[in-house]
Structure 1
C-alpha cells in the first residue's frame, strides 16, 4: 500500500506541473525518426526556456545543444544507444535535477560502494568492509565499459524504483541494477572486484548514545515520511543533543524536510525564495513550527551525497542558526524541477526551473561548506550508516558529532 500511495502522490505532483498530461509527449518505443526528433526538440525547448544555471556553472550551451541534436545525425543508433546519447548530452549540464528517468517495474539495487567524479576520474567515495575497495581508488571500468562515460551518463539518467520514489540519484545510478545481480569493477591498478547489488530502500531509524539521540534519514522521498519522522522524534524529546544523519540522502519532498525542521524551532522559519532564470520570484518556501519542539543542540551529518531536499534542509540549519553541519561539502541541488513530462512510455524528462535562494540571497546549487569540516569524509566511516551496521567504532564521524554534543552545556 505504501508504494502505491507514493506512486499516486508523485504522479499527482507531476500532473499538476504539466497540466495533467494524458500520454507521452512524443510517442512510444520503438522510436521512429519523428519520435526521436520530437524528443530532442522537446528537451531543447525546455532547457532553453527554463534551465537557470548555465552561467553559474560555466556551461557552454552552444556545445550542449550541438551535442543534443547530433544524436539525430546517427540513424544507426538503436533505441537504447539513442537514449544514452541524450543522457550524455544532459550530463554536460552537471545538474542533478535536469535528467532522464526510467520507471522500472522491478526493485532497484546497488552494491555497498559509492562512486564520485573527481578531476576527470571515477573514484571510490566509500565502501563497506569486505567490498575489496578503499576510498580514493580509481575505477577504470564498470561491467567492462569505461567508467567515466558510464558515470557521466548516470548523473543525468538516474533510475527510480517501481513506485517512483527517490532512491538513486547521480553517481549512485552508475552501479544500479536488479537486486541480487552482480556488477564488475576494474581499478586503475588492474584489480577486478565483483559486487552484488543489494536493496537500496532504507527506513529512517533512531538510536541512543547516553543522553545523545541519533536520527538516520536516508530519503525524504515518501509521502508518509513526515508521520514516521514525527514518531521517531517523539521518542527522542528527552535527549540533550540530537544527531541528524543526512549522509547520502538524495532528497525528496521539501515539505517533508521542512516538516522535520519545524520540529526544531519554536517560530516559523524565514522565507526562502524560488527564483526563475530572469530573477523573478515564483513563490516562497517556509518551514512552519509544528508539534512539540525539540530544544536540544543539533548536529547534522552531511557529505557530497546530501542532495536536493536534504541539501535544502542543511541550508535552513545553517542559515537559521539551529545547529551545526559536520562532515563534507553538501552535494548541492538547490533547484526546483517544476517542469517535466513523459517523453515516451516509461521515459521521463525533467529540467531545473527555479533556483532556491537562501535568507541571504544566495543559492547553493553547487553545495555548501559545513560548519565543522572533516577532510576525506569518505574515510570517516568504514560501514555505511544503516540500521544493522551502525557503530561508533566503525563511524568516526558519528563519534566526532557525539563528542561535540557532549561538550555543549
Structure 2
C-alpha cells in the first residue's frame, strides 16, 4: 500500500511539474514576443524620420492592434474621453446623430437609427453600410473609433458615406449632430384593448423600471405587443429583469465562459403579465433584444413576429484602466434557454412578415402601413379569443 501511495504521489508530482513547466514555457514565449515589441518600439522612437511622436497615440494604437488580432469587434479599447461619453450615454443623453452601429460581415453597418433623431430624419436604414466617415475609410476601423468619429458637439456636421443594397456606388449623407435623449420606451393602447410597448433601448439604467411602470398602467388590457424592432440592445440585466416579468419559473438566458462553464440565469419570478403576448423583431433587434425575445419564445409565453434578428450573442465586461480609459472585453457567449446559439445567425420569428426593401420600399409613401404591426395585432386578437374560449 505504501508503495502504491508513493507511486500515486510521484504521478501527482510529475503532473504538477508538467503543468508548471508548461506555464513557464508559455510565459517565456510571451516575454520573448514582448521583447520583440519593445525592440520595435525602441527603433521607432529613435530612428523614425519624424522625431516628435505622440507616445499615447503609439501605445493606444498598439493596444488596438493587439485586440484586432482577436477578430472580435466587440472586444475593444475605449480612450478616456470616449469612456466618459459612454457613461453619459448610459444615462440616456449624449450629442451625436442617434444611431446604433455594429460590425456585420467585416463591414461597419447601421443596426438601426433611433426614432426622431438626425439619423432617422436623414433616412438612414438598418443594414446600411458605412464606408466612410468624413472621408475616412472605415475598412478595418475599430467600432469604438467609428462611434467616436460619428459623435461630436451639438450643431456640428458629420458626413457618412453610405452603401445600401441596390446601390452601385456609395452616397454621402451630411448630418447635423444634435443632443440625443433616448426614451427607454413608448407605451400606448391600440384598438381592441391591446397594450403596445415600443422598447427603444436597453442601455438606460432605468429601462426595466420604466417597462414595469408601463406594464402596470396597462394591466387591464387583453393582450400585449412588445416591439423591439430597431433596438440595438444594451444592458444584460435589463433583459433579465424584463424577461422575469413574463417568466415565473424558468431560464432567461445561459452563458458559456472561456472554460466552457455554463451559467443558467433564472427568472427572478416577479411575474407581472400572464396574458397573450406578441414580440415584434427584425434584423435591427440585437443583443439584449435577442435575449428577451429568445427567453419569451423558449418559455412559451410569447409569439415572435417579423424577420430574423441581428445575431449578436456575446457578453462584454467593462474594465476601467489606470489612465481613465477602458477595455470592453467579451467574457462569455450566450445561448437561448433551449440552448440555441444565435451568434451571427439571429433568432428566426415564429411568423415571418417581410417588408419591402431597397428600391421597392422607396416607392412606398411615408404613411405606408406597418405590415408587421398589423400582423402582430391580427395574431394577438386570435390568441386573445382562444384564451377566453371564444
Cα 1:221–1:184 change in 2 (3 A) is: closer
Q: In the alignment, which of 218, 222, 231 is matched to residue 236 of structure 1?
A: 218
1:181 to 145, 153, 156: 156
Query: How far apart are 1:195 and its partner, in Å?
Result: 0.6
Residues in 1 aligned to 2:181 and 2:348: alpha-carbon distance in whole angstroms = 27
Question: Is 1:143–2:126 an aligned residue pair?
Answer: no
Q: Could you say what secondary structure the match of 1:186 adopts?
A: strand
Distance in 2 separating the partners of 1:249 and 1:274: 21
SS of 1:141's equivalent in the other structure is: strand
Q: Which residue of 2 aligns with 1:3?
A: none
User: Which among 205, 225, 229 is matched to residue 186 of structure 2?
Assistant: 205
Picking from 56, 77, 80, the partner of 1:79 is 56
User: Normalising by the residue count of structure 1, what TM-score does the alignment of the two structures yield?
Assistant: 0.63
Counterpart for residue 330 of structure 1: 309
**Retained in 2: the 8 A contact 1:71–1:86?**
no
After superposition, residues 4-403 of structure 1 pair within 5 angstroms as 73=41, 76=53, 79-80=56-57, 83=60, 86-87=63-64, 90-91=67-68, 93=70, 95=72, 97-101=74-78, 102-104=82-84, 108-111=94-97, 131=122, 139-150=130-141, 153-154=142-143, 157=144, 175-187=150-162, 189=169, 191-198=171-178, 199-210=180-191, 211-265=193-247, 267-270=248-251, 272-281=253-262, 283-291=263-271, 293-338=272-317, 340-366=318-344, 367-375=346-354, 393=368, 395-403=370-378
* CA contact 1:247–1:302 (8 Å) conserved in 2: yes
Match of 1:17 in 2: none
1:360-403 C-alpha deviation (Å, 9 max, x unpaired): 334333332222334468779x9xxxxxxxx9846443333223
1:11 alignment partner in structure 2:
none
SS of the aligned residue for 1:295 comes to coil
Which ranges in structure 2 are unaligned for 5 or more consecutive residues?
A: 1-25, 27-32, 46-52, 114-118, 164-168, 386-390
CA separation of 1:126/1:251 partners in 2, compared to 1, >3 Å: closer, same or farther? closer
Runs of 5+ consecutive residues of structure 1 not aligned to the other structure? 1-47, 49-64, 159-170, 383-390
Deviation at 1:406, TM superposition (A): 2.9
- Asked whether the 8 Å contact 2:111–2:284 carries over to 1, the reply is no
Say which is worse superposed, 138-147 or 118-127, in terms of deviation. 118-127
Between the aligned partners of 1:172 and 1:81, the Cα distance in structure 2 is 20
SS in structure 1 opposite 2:309?
Answer: coil
Larger Rg: 2
TM-score normalised by L of structure 2: 0.66
Give, in whole Å, the separation in 1 of the partners of 2:171 and 2:136: 15
Q: Taking structure 1 as reference, are residues 255 and 147 closer, same or farther at Cα in structure 2, changes over 3 Å only?
A: closer
Say how many residue pairs are matched.
Answer: 316
Q: Greater RCO between the two (CA within 8 Å, min separation 6)? A: 1
| d(CA) in 2 for partners of 1:70, 1:370 | 52
SS at match of 2:251: coil
Residue 14 (structure 2) aligns with: none
Taking the aligned partners of 1:202 and 1:111, their CA distance within structure 2 comes to 15
Aligned to 2:388: none
Distance 1:92 1:200 in 2: 35
1:229 to 1:190, Cα distance in 2 relative to 1, 3 A: closer
Q: How many angstroms does 1:83 deviate by?
A: 3.0
State how far apart, in whole Å, the 1-side matches of 2:379 and 2:225 are. 10
In terms of fraction of residues, the more helix-rich structure is 2
Deviates more, 1:195-204 or 1:72-81: 72-81
Q: Could you give the per-residue CA deviations for residues 294-317 of structure 1, whole angstroms, max 9, x where no partner exists?
A: 232222222344333322112211
Task: For residue 184 of structure 1, report the CA deviation from its aligned partner.
Answer: 0.7
C-alpha separation between the residues in 2 aligned to 1:295 and 1:350?
37
**Cα distance change of structure 1 residues 235 and 84 upon mapping to structure 2, 3 Å threshold:** farther
Q: Report the alpha carbon displacement of residue 240 of structure 1 after superposing the two structures with TM.
A: 2.2
Residues 292-350 of structure 1: per-residue CA shift (max 9 Å, x gap): x3232222222344333322112211211111222333333433335x53234231113
